[in-house]
């Protein structure tokens, strides 16, 4: 029984076949490819034998393609072109000059993520990005499932299958409307001055986050806390603050500025600050472009 593997065509056979058609003879193709004529003849004969078709009619010393030969030439030219493009693309990925990088991040880390993307694009590499904003648990799941190459999230990271690199701690800030005269001044805000003040707080859909740390800090300081709204969406919190529903207590990076129309002041609290972390799959070596993105994120978000 014939081995089916012996009937599989390969790119070299198709290259030889195409050259014979396009240069009109075995001799011309042999010279262009720098391949001995017998090797070309063998390759063509193997294709004909594998499929049970004649690719050429032998007319004197010449070779005239049959209908099957013309069809194969059309399809082989397309296949060889795609193979060449694929090889070029894979070499570019291996060298770090081309790739599609999938990155997850929480709202707090949007600024350094976008700065990293801008820098890599300015470096002139042919790299595209797919960015996914989400909560920590979602990001952990997407990285584990290889739907993201890496993510910048918040500690703690519960998934043991992920490699965790510690990044910068976050500071706690009071965010108010710019025209809220109650919080005028440049000094830090003490937690006791917020006792009983309606608050809007960022809260995870699952896991321990800033909401839990703050409520614990109020209780430990024997202060009354009044949470008007907790929400998982940072954009919605700013709208709530703008509508005077309450003032915000939010984690932020040290260099971050409040959006236009808002004021931000540091808050003195005994609670341990949240900390960012970069996560990526264990046992998987990133391609050069992804490693470059990871290194830049770590540089932007170093402790």
Distance in angstroms (rounded) separating the CA atoms of residues 254 and 126? 32
Burial of 146 (0-12, 13-18, 19+ CB in 10 A): exposed
Indicate whether this model's pTM tops 0.75.
Answer: no
Q: List, for residues 103-160, the tens digit of each pLDDT value.
A: 999 988 888 999 999 999 888 767 889 999 988 888 999 998 888 999 999 988 888 8
Check residue 97 and give its pLDDT: 52
Residue range 70-112, pLDDT digits in tens:
999 889 888 887 776 666 566 655 655 557 889 999 988 888 9
**Domain topology for 4-94:** Arc Repressor Mutant, subunit A (1.10.10)
In terms of Cα–Cα distance, which of 70, 66, 71, 21 is closest to 43? Answer: 21
The residue ranges of DSSP E strands in 66-183, in sequence order, are 98-105, 126-133, 150-154, 162-169, 171-177
Segment (H or E) for 262: strand 262-268
pLDDT at 95: 56
* Top-tier CATH class for 171-273: alpha beta
Interval 228-270: pLDDT, tens? 999 888 889 999 999 999 999 888 887 667 888 898 888 887 5
101-167+276-300: CATH topology: D-Maltodextrin-Binding Protein; domain 2 (3.40.190)
Question: Within the chain, which residue ranges are assigned CATH 3.40.190.290?
Answer: 171-273
Residue 204, exposed/middle/buried by CB under 10 A (0-12, 13-18, 19+)? middle
Mean pLDDT across the chain, nearest whole number? Answer: 85
Q: For the chain, where do the domains classified as CATH 1.10.10.10 start and end?
A: 4-94
Which residue spans of the chain are classified as CATH 3.40.190.10?
101-167+276-300
* Selected residue with higher pLDDT from 71 and 25: 71
């Amino acid at each position: 029984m014939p081995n089916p593997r012996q009937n599989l065509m390969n790119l070299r056979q198709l290259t030889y076949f195409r050259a014979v058609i396009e240069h009109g003879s075995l001799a011309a193709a042999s010279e262009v490819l720098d391949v001995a004529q017998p090797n070309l003849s063998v390759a063509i004969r193997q294709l004909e034998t594998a499929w049970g078709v004649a690719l050429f009619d032998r007319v004197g010393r010449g070779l005239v393609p049959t209908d099957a030969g013309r069809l194969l030439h059309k399809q082989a030219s397309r296949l060889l072109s795609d193979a060449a493009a694929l090889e070029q693309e894979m070499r570019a990925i291996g060298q770090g000059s081309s790739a599609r990088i999938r990155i997850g991040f929480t709202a707090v880390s949007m600024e350094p993520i976008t700065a990293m993307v801008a820098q890599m694009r300015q470096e002139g590499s042919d790299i595209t990005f797919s960015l996914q904003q989400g909560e920590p648990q979602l990001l952990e799941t997407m990285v584990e499932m290889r739907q993201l190459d890496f993510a910048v999230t918040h500690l703690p990271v519960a998934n043991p299958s992920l490699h965790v690199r510690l990044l910068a701690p976050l500071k706690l800030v009071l965010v108010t409307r710019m025209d809220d005269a109650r919080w005028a001044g440049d000094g830090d805000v003490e937690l006791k001055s917020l006792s009983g003040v309606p608050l809007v707080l960022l809260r995870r859909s699952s896991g321990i986050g800033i909401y839990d740390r703050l409520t614990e800090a109020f209780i430990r300081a024997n202060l009354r806390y009044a949470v008007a709204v907790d929400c998982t969406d940072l954009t919605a919190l700013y709208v709530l603050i703008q509508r005077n529903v309450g003032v915000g207590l939010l984690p932020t990076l040290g260099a971050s500025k409040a959006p236009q129309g808002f004021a931000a002041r540091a808050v003195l609290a005994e609670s341990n600050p949240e900390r960012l972390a970069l996560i990526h799959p264990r046992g998987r070596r990133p391609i050069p472009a992804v490693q470059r993105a990871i290194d830049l994120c770590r540089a932007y978000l170093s402790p």
